[in-house]
A and B are shown apart, each in its own frame.
Chain A
Amino acid sequence: DVKVTQSSRYLVKRTGEKVFLECVQDMDHENMFWYRQDPGLGLRLIYFSYDVKMKEKGDIPEGYSVSREKKERFSLILESASTNQTSMYLCALTSPSGRTYEQFFGPGTRLTVL
């Protein structure tokens, strides 16, 4: 079974704080993704990574950065948290098997910025 772990289920931060959200996998998957999910807006892709030290912008990268120093860990960084970044953050990775592109999600981190 694919296992994706996110560092926190719930997080409360203050405006202006630097926030780190961590995503860890226990297998050798290359592709990892960060989404945010908001009511009425659905899932929106923030950043993704194909391998160590590689990153690609998604649809809404503004206000975020990412880090992938090791294959198993993909971090999302909010440089200076703002209230409009209050959201559910979901990490995902793809199955490495062949032509499929099935994505599997972590449990999510519900972030509140006050």
Chain B
Amino acid sequence: QKEVEQNSGPLSVPEGAIASLNCTYSDRVSQSFFWYRQYSGKSPELIMSIYSNGDKEDGRFTAQLNKASQYVSLLIRDSQPSDSATYLCAVKGYINSGYALNFGKGTSLLVTP
């Protein structure tokens, strides 16, 4: 079973600060990585995908990938209370006879006003 590990949190940051969420994965050959946001009682929502080493920016979000270290992270700049949610890291992997996403258990983020 390919592992995707995240710190469960909660990670608490003040409004306006940078939130840094981290994820490590065990499958060395993985090529596709995703971050999802999930509000309580709602389904996961895709916020970022990243496929190449380095940084990818989208608005206040930056995804960082380091395949050599098997590490992917998500930075949220100027954090807002509305960013309070659980953030799921997902890695594309081979499961039985096909490709699917392996999800971490998520990091809970709390942005305090």
Contacts and interface: CB of A to CB of B under 8 A. Distances in A.
Interface string A34-58: 0000001111010010100000111
A62 B109 CA distance: 33
Contact of A45 (B51, B95, B105): B95
Contacts of B88: 42-43
Interface residues of B, number: 24
B98 A108 contact: no
Interface stretch (B17-25, B42-50, B53-61, B66-74): B42-50
B20 to A, nearest CB: 20
Nearest to A45: B100
A90 interface: yes
Interface residues of A, number: 23
Contacts of B100: 33, 45, 48, 58
Interface of B: 1, 32, 34, 42-46, 49, 51, 88, 90, 92, 95-101, 103-106
Interface of A: 33, 40-43, 45, 48, 50, 56-59, 90, 99-108
Given A42-B105, A58-B95, A99-B32, 15 more contacts: A40-B105, A42-B106, A43-B44, A45-B95, A48-B95, A48-B98, A59-B95, A100-B32, A100-B51, A101-B99, A101-B101, A102-B46, A103-B90, A105-B43, A105-B44
10 contacts: A42-B106, A43-B103, A45-B95, A56-B98, A57-B96, A59-B1, A101-B32, A103-B90, A104-B46, A107-B43
